[in-house]
Each structure stands twice: as structure tokens, then as C-alpha cells.
Amino acid sequence: MADQNRYELNKNLAQMLKGGVIMDVTTPEQAKIAEAAGAAAVMALERIPADIRAAGGVSRMSDPKMIKGIQDAVSIPVMAKCRIGHFAEAQILQAIEIDYIDESEVLSPADDIFHINKREFDVPFVCGAKDLGEALRRIEEGASMIRTKGEPGTGDIVQAVRHMRLMNQEIARISSMREDELFNRAKELQVSYDLVRFVHDHKKLPVVNFAAGGVATPADAALMMQLGAEGVFVGSGIFKSGNPAKRAAAIVQAVTNYTDAKLIAKLSEDLGEAMVGINEQEIALLMAERGK
């Protein structure tokens, strides 16, 4: 059972990941390429979102043996995904001492109402959100890190941008509210007054907020950082591209110097082919609509 101390430590780990890029990997070899390219952490999963999308069917937590192989291959933190609401998968990931669990809409949801009670766990959780209400509800449940949902496996940044902008607008709105308006806002967002009060007082989420879902180029990463992301998840964008090592390293540098357009211009040269991508109008399955 996690105590307040443990929750602080878990928020602290997310702070250490800031300014970094977290990369999806499916094998120990890919994990090593990601680490060498400057990944701050890797996300171990069986198939990257673009392939999950292509294959269809139910997608689940990865084989623990495969995750352990990746844990042995790198020294940076290793994350892994479990299905929304699937607390037994989360228990398994905790048992193999994963550094961060992503309760993720990329996998098929196991529960269409309830998310995992993340307060019961000692390992930290990151969750996706497309607006402030979702973010705060996940934090209320015990998430110690938030990321935009974006639209995974598409290589299309439009949804991540929409989610980040919406969150920022809602935070700005709460920050400028009169104190007596906060009680009603908490009711509307279905979260506790304390969380709304925190956002009002600090003009930010109480946990670190990364961008995710559709990041494919150094420019995409710089865009999200300039919109206020504290770091970036890159899923299919790297290992679905022509030159993963080079693209990964370029995205890492773009996140560090996200306002230096000259540098990012140089970083964007000769990266080979970007992932092909699918526009949001062309996809049948909106993963961002999973888990609210």
C-alpha cells in the first residue's frame, strides 16, 4: 500500500525525466538503440501503436519475459503498458519491478467505467488525458505523471496539439476564477476541490505533463515543448522511420533546444523517411476516446 512518501518519490521520478524523450521499443536491441540515441526512458511493448492499429484485435500487456529482457539491456528507466482498468496486469508489472506503468488507451480497455486505483500501488503510473478533467481524475486515482493522449500510431500531431492546448486553456481559466467559483468547477470536472485549488494557485498540474501521440519529427517535438509539454513520448515515430537512431537523436536534441529553429533545421536534415502516417479523418479507431 503506497503512502504519501511513496507518491512524492514517484512524482519526483517524473521530474527527473523532464526535458527528455521516452521512446517505444519492442526488443532489447531497439532499447539499446534508443538509450544510445539519448532516450530518458523506454516504453517496453510488444507492438508499437502503428502495428497495433494495423493488426487490429485485442491488444494486451506485453510478455513479462520480453519486458525483463529490455530491463536487462538498458540502465535507464523502463516503462510498460497495462490496459485501462486491468489492475491484475498492473500487479504483474509491479511484481517485475517496472519503473513506471502506463495505464494506456493504446491497449484495449479492460474496463469501460473504472480506471485502476493507482493509490494502491508502490510503482508509479502515467496516464493519458485529452483535457484537464481527465488529467485531474487520473491524478485523483493516483497517477504521478500525465501525458496527452494524442492519437497513437498515426504520426499525426493534430490531436496532441489539441489536447495540450485544451489543457492549457482550462488551466488558465481556473487560474483566473474567483475562489468561490472553484467549488462548482470541481463538481463539473468530477474531482476534489483540493486538486482544483492546486491548479488555481500554481497555474499548472500537480504532476509532470508530457506530450504523446503522433510525434514523428524534431519539429513535432519542438512544437509540443513550445506549447508547454515538459518532455515527449515518441511511439511509432522512431522505429517506423527510415533511420531510427538518427531520428531519435535528432528528436532528443530538439527537445533540449526547442526554441532554436536554426539548430532544429540542421537536426531535421537527412533524417530519411518519416513514418508514413495516417490523417485523423482516415482512421476508424480513435484510441483517445478510450478511458475518460
Catalytic residues: 81
The rounded radius of gyration (Å) of the Cα atoms in the chain is 18
C-alpha 143/C-alpha 211 separation (Å) is 16
When asked if residue 281 is in the footprint of another protein (CB under 8 A), the reply is: no
4/281 with CB nearer another protein: 4
Using the rule CB under 8 A, give the single segment among 51-59, 70-78, 180-188, 278-286 that binds another protein.
Answer: 70-78
Does position 174 bind another protein by CB under 8 A? no
* Cα 290 to Cα 58: distance, rounded to the nearest angstrom: 13
Beta bridge partners of 24: 43
- Count, residues near another protein per rule CB under 8 A: 39
Q: How far is CA 46 from the centre of its chain?
A: 17
Would you say the C-alpha torsion 215, 121, 19, 132 has a positive or negative sign? positive
CB 6 within 8 Å of CB 17: no
| 8 A C-beta contact, residue 124 and residue 10 | yes
Q: Does 273 bind another protein (CB under 8 A)?
A: no
Contacts (Cβ under 8 Å, ≥6 apart) of 107: 52, 59, 60, 61, 81, 82, 83, 84
User: Interaction with another protein in 243-262: which residues (CB under 8 A)?
Assistant: 249, 252-253, 255-257, 260
Q: Which is nearer to another protein, 12 or 279 (CB)?
A: 12
Task: Please pick, from the candidates 24, 89, 99, 151, the single residue that binds another protein as defined by CB under 8 A.
Answer: 99
Choose the binding region for another protein from 7-15, 166-174, 196-204, 235-243 (rule: CB under 8 A): 7-15
Phi and psi at 125, nearest 5°, equal: -125, 140
Out of 8, 112, 194, 289, point to the residue binding another protein (CB under 8 A).
8
3-state secondary structure of 215: coil
The residue from 5, 57, 113, 178 that contacts another protein (CB under 8 A) is: 5
Site for another protein in 10-39 (CB under 8 A): 10, 12-13, 15-20, 35-39
Q: Which three cell numbers stand for residue 127?
A: 496516464
Q: CB 100 → another protein: shortest distance, Å?
A: 7
Does 85 participate in binding another protein (rule CB under 8 A)? no
List residues binding another protein (CB under 8 A).
Answer: 5, 8-10, 12-13, 15-20, 35-41, 71, 75-77, 94, 97-100, 122-124, 249, 252-253, 255-257, 260, 263
